[in-house]
Structure 1
Amino acid sequence: MPGRLFLETPVTEIGQWAGRETVGVSDEPLRRNIAPGQEIVCLTADGFTRMRWGIIPVGRVNARGRPVMETIVNARSETVFDKSAFDGVGRAVVIVDGWYEWTGEKRKKTAWRITGAEPLVFSAITDLWIAPGGREVYQVATVTCEPNGDVKPIHHRMGVLLEKDAIDLWLTGTPEEVAPLMVPWPNGRLSIEEAADVDWDGA
């Protein structure tokens, strides 16, 4: 949806692939298990930076004017530009090697590793949380849509994936211009295999 992400390609190589400088994030370690709540490397219109994965919506309200309480890890593409809770958010992309999903009942779940032929570019929204003491925490949430035929057998949602040449449009385009990007990834371009070799409690 994605549930967790992984990046085993050096960020410098990701930057070269995307045609962007990686100043400030080149020392990012390789990570097999990136969970919500952890920092993750993102690309904004201003370049690569680190953000917390999960938007704490302090001060944000829903359509009824009630505070949004839950941390937003994934935002639905169908409503991301309509909900008042997302007013004023920025945009970024998260470039990784892939993500994980799970199937099955609790304590009997099977983990699945999902990859593509190239790095995967997740569309995302960003926000700034002013933490206690005035500390600024930049936050990011991935955007999701209906699953394609590859993902549908294991999950009812998937992240909105972008072609490399659509990154600039997502980062700077109007909501109307980027709306056509928020669709399921074409079928047949993802590989899914069981992930039985990951330490889910480790990094």
Structure 2
Amino acid sequence: MCGRYTLSNKGKVKEKFNKEIIPNFNIAPRNDVLLINKEEKVCVMNWNYNPSWAKKPMNLINARSETLIEKPSFKESSRCILIADGWYEWQRERNIKKPYYHFRKNELVYFAGIYNKSSGCAIVTKESHKKFSFIHNRQPVLLEEKDFSKWLNGQDIFESTISEEIDFYQVNNKINNPKNNNPDNLLKFNKNDIINYA
């Protein structure tokens, strides 16, 4: 599951997409997020997917790549690409959850996504790369720029070499609260500075 991520590199977003952003160090479900839609246009959409036929909100934020094609919830969806520069994932140890930040040094990362115009978008996930699977068993599907058009036009691209370039480290549990949105979220965890922010 991918339930929290970041987009803070203003320079890279400006360079690649000519867009100005407000850095966000704790993007949470139901936030508005920056993405590339099926028409290959950069736009803002809500991170919260609901099939048009659903009688009650389903509020989906992830879609498993393994069942993407067959699941009724996603059959009417279009493809998109969410723009990010890292994501958080929690490692569970007994009753303790330790957050880790995953990132590609000095680069943006691109999550495969789906959307519909009546609600919003969801991140497509897959089994985690062996390098960081000890943290969590799922990760976003990461796309290379050369594969953008293929993904947006319906080709399934669930594997890339990008996962091999991902670094990660433990961060403070203050990111558990989505209201905590500042650059300190990205500082490496210091066990001498434990505060309960949940």
Number of the residue aligned with 1:100: 88
Number of the residue aligned with 1:159: 140
Q: SS of the residue aligned with 2:35?
A: strand
> In the comparison of the two structures, how many residue pairs are matched?
177
Q: SS of the residue aligned with 1:167?
A: helix
Number of the residue aligned with 1:63: none
Residues 4 and 27, structure 2, Cα contact 8 Å, conserved in 1: yes
Map residues 8-157 of structure 1 onto 2, 5 A cutoff. Answer: 8-10=8-10, 13-14=12-13, 16-17=15-16, 20-22=17-19, 26=20, 28-44=21-37, 45-60=39-54, 70-104=58-92, 108-117=96-105, 118-129=107-118, 137=119, 139-157=120-138
Number of the residue aligned with 1:189: 165
Q: TM-score, normalised by structure 2?
A: 0.79
Residues 8 and 31, structure 1, Cα contact 8 Å, conserved in 2: yes
Read off the aligned partner of 1:14 and give its amino acid letter: V
Distance change (3 Å), C-alpha of 1:15 and 1:167: farther
Post-superposition offset of 1:106: 7.8
Distance change (3 Å), C-alpha of 1:100 and 1:187: closer
Output the CA distance in 2 between the equivalents of 1:163 and 1:72. 24
Q: SS of the residue aligned with 1:111?
A: strand
Output the CA distance in 1 between the equivalents of 2:161 and 2:88. 16
Q: SS of the residue aligned with 2:164?
A: coil
Q: State the 4+ residue runs in structure 1 displaced beyond 6 angstroms.
A: none
What is the root-mean-square deviation in Å for CA atoms of aligned residues? 2.3
Percent of matched pairs sharing the same residue: 25
Distance change (3 Å), C-alpha of 1:187 and 1:80: closer
Read off the aligned partner of 2:115 and give its amino acid letter: T
More strand by share: 1
Number of the residue aligned with 1:168: 149
Output the CA distance in 2 between the equivalents of 1:116 and 1:159. 13
